């Protein structure tokens, strides 16, 4: 594995870092205040669209989409994208400015890989242009959805239409006023074999029968403007052409979608942890207690050293997983993807926690991004599958690899 970034990656990284310095960090506080003002609930800060136009014109756009999706892709590998996503991950909302944010990235990949020409024209192209947003509806409140075979939402064919009934929650981005399309996973044949009961179908936002029950808060934060919704779907009708890939192929699509989604979260999380460490270092050089700078206390130095080691290890593991994904594909690299999904969110929580601690009371209020960084680590320990499920699958795979060696 090559440890040095190639020329293209280095140039793009330099451009993104400069973009962050010039346009993102200076308005971080302003965006926080806007999105946390109740008068602006579900309103997109106007600066976001302005910055998107700027990033787009500079070619810093859709960098997440791997080269195999050309002509839609700008042509990078996952390994080349990793440091760029890391740079974006230093500020929670920055990836959207480069059209590289979840859940759209995963949804775009699904449409690019499994959509028909019509789906691509209608939904993929506006998503790639950053004109609309999207949601992914898999998790359900009444069943343990970490086992996706449990989902109960029914998709029943009636003539030229499918009729959908069920409940969903944690549907991220539903509240975003620009959202136009949902990808839903449900069951077309509950009597088929365990992994061929499910299908995925496209539901345009605003379709009759889709009711938003309530927004869900993440650690008491609504995550406006995109939010996370609980939804009830009652006799929702869509044309049969809205089905992706074919009946019974939903599980197959889910596997394809979640691998890249997980790795993108991990890449951004490494950047978030690195930012936390930087904030921590600046604080301890600046603060004096009991006659000494905090940076002179040995326990604080240990915390900084541990954090540095944790981040560097996590970064290397993520680059290795990205390289495996590029060279071996989603299925063969699933052990590597499982490893980063287990390691990185916890690492972020620990680093952010240490950084919060050195700030005293300031560490848990809105004056630094540290609580948001901690929360990002915490939530990814559920999103795209909880830790335990990844550990269970990794252990099974490891035993199998040993037994076959």
Ligand X SMILES: Cc1cc2nc3c(=O)[nH]c(=O)nc-3n(C[C@H](O)[C@H](O)[C@H](O)COP(=O)(O)OP(=O)(O)OC[C@H]3O[C@@H](n4cnc5c(N)ncnc54)[C@H](O)[C@@H]3O)c2cc1C
Binding residue for ligand X, selected from 145, 242, 295, 318, defined by CB under 6 A? 145
Q: Which stretch binds ligand X (CB under 6 A): 139-147, 239-247, 335-343, 351-359?
A: 139-147
Q: Which stretch binds ligand X (CB under 6 A): 37-45, 191-199, 363-371, 379-387?
A: 379-387
Q: Counting contacts by CB under 6 A, is residue 215 touching ligand X?
A: no
Distance from C-alpha of 102 to C-alpha of 96, rounded to nearest angstrom: 8
Q: Counting contacts by CB under 6 A, is residue 170 touching ligand X?
A: yes
- Map the footprint of ligand X across residues 291-350, applying CB under 6 A: none
Q: Which stretch binds ligand X (CB under 6 A): 5-13, 55-63, 365-373, 378-386?
A: 378-386
Residues 279/355, Cβ–Cβ less than 8 Å: yes
Comparing CB distances to ligand X, the nearer of 146 and 330 is: 146
Comparing CB distances to ligand X, the nearer of 75 and 215 is: 215
Residue 226: burial class (beta carbons within 10 Å; 0-12, 13-18, 19+) = buried
Q: Counting contacts by CB under 6 A, is residue 139 touching ligand X?
A: yes
Q: Which stretch binds ligand X (CB under 6 A): 272-280, 309-317, 329-337, 377-385?
A: 377-385
Distance from C-alpha of 305 to C-alpha of 309, rounded to nearest angstrom: 6
Q: Counting contacts by CB under 6 A, is residue 382 touching ligand X?
A: yes
Q: Which residues, 6 or more positions from 46, have their beta carbon under 8 angstroms from its beta carbon?
A: none
Q: What share of the chain is helix, strand, coil (3-state, %, to 5)?
A: 55, 15, 30
* Residue 166 bridge partners (DSSP): 233
* Residue 110 bridge partners (DSSP): none
Q: Counting contacts by CB under 6 A, is residue 152 touching ligand X?
A: no
Scored b (16 or more CB within 10 A) or e, 93-126 reads: bbbbbbbbbbbbbbbbbbbbebbeeebbebbbeb
Q: Counting contacts by CB under 6 A, is residue 385 touching ligand X?
A: yes
Distance from C-alpha of 115 to C-alpha of 100, rounded to nearest angstrom: 19
Q: Which stretch binds ligand X (CB under 6 A): 69-77, 301-309, 354-362, 376-384?
A: 376-384
Q: Counting contacts by CB under 6 A, is residue 182 touching ligand X?
A: no
Q: Counting contacts by CB under 6 A, is residue 245 touching ligand X?
A: no
Comparing CB distances to ligand X, the nearer of 74 and 227 is: 227
**H or E segment and range at residue 164:** strand 161-172
Distance from C-alpha of 155 to C-alpha of 346, rounded to nearest angstrom: 37
How many residues does this entry show for the chain? 405
What mask of x and - would describe binding to ligand X in positions 94 to 133, judged by CB under 6 A?
---------x------------------------------
Which residues in this chain contact ligand X in the complex, by CB under 6 A?
103, 136-139, 144-146, 170-172, 218, 228, 379, 382-386, 388-389, 392
């Amino acid at each position: 594995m090559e440890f040095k970034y190639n020329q293209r990656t280095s140039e793009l990284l330099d451009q993104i870092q400069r973009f962050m310095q010039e346009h993102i960090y200076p308005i971080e506080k302003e965006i926080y205040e806007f999105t946390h003002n109740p008068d602006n609930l579900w309103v997109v800060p106007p600066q976001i669209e302005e910055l998107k136009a700027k990033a787009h014109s500079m070619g810093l756009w859709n960098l997440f989409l791997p080269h195999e999706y050309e002509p839609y892709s700008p042509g990078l590998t996952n390994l080349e994208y990793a440091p760029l996503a890391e740079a974006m991950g230093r500020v929670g909302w920055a990836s959207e400015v480069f059209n590289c944010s979840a859940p759209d990235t995963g949804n775009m990949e699904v449409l690019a890989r499994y959509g028909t020409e019509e789906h691509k024209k209608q939904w993929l192209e506006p998503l790639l242009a950053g004109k609309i947003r999207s949601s992914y509806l898999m998790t359900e409140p009444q069943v343990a959805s970490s086992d996706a075979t449990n989902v109960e939402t029914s998709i029943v064919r009636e003539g030229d239409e499918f009729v959908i009934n069920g409940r969903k929650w944690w549907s991220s981005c539903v509240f975003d006023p620009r959202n136009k399309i949902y990808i839903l996973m449900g069951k077309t044949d509950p009597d088929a074999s365990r992994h061929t009961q499910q299908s995925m179908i496209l539901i345009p936002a605003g379709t009759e029968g889709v009711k938003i029950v309530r927004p869900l808060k993440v650690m008491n934060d609504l995550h406006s403007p995109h939010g996370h919704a609980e939804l009830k779907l009652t006799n929702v009708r869509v044309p049969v052409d809205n089905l992706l890939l074919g009946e019974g192929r939903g599980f197959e699509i889910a596997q394809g979608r979640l691998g890249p989604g997980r790795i993108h979260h991990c890449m951004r999380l490494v950047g978030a942890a690195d930012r936390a460490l930087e904030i921590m270092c600046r604080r301890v050089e600046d603060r004096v207690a009991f006659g000494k700078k905090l940076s002179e206390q040995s326990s604080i130095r240990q915390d900084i050293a541990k954090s540095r080691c944790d981040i560097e290890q996590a970064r290397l593991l993520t680059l290795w997983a990205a390289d495996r994904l590029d060279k071996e594909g989603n299925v063969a690299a699933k052990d590597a993807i499982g490893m980063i999904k287990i390691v990185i969110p916890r690492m972020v929580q620990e680093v952010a926690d240490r950084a919060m601690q050195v700030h005293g009371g300031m560490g848990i209020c809105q004056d630094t991004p540290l609580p948001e960084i901690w929360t990002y680590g915490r939530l990814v320990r559920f999103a795209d599958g909880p830790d335990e499920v990844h550990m269970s699958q990794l252990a099974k795979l490891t035993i199998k690899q040993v037994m076959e060696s």
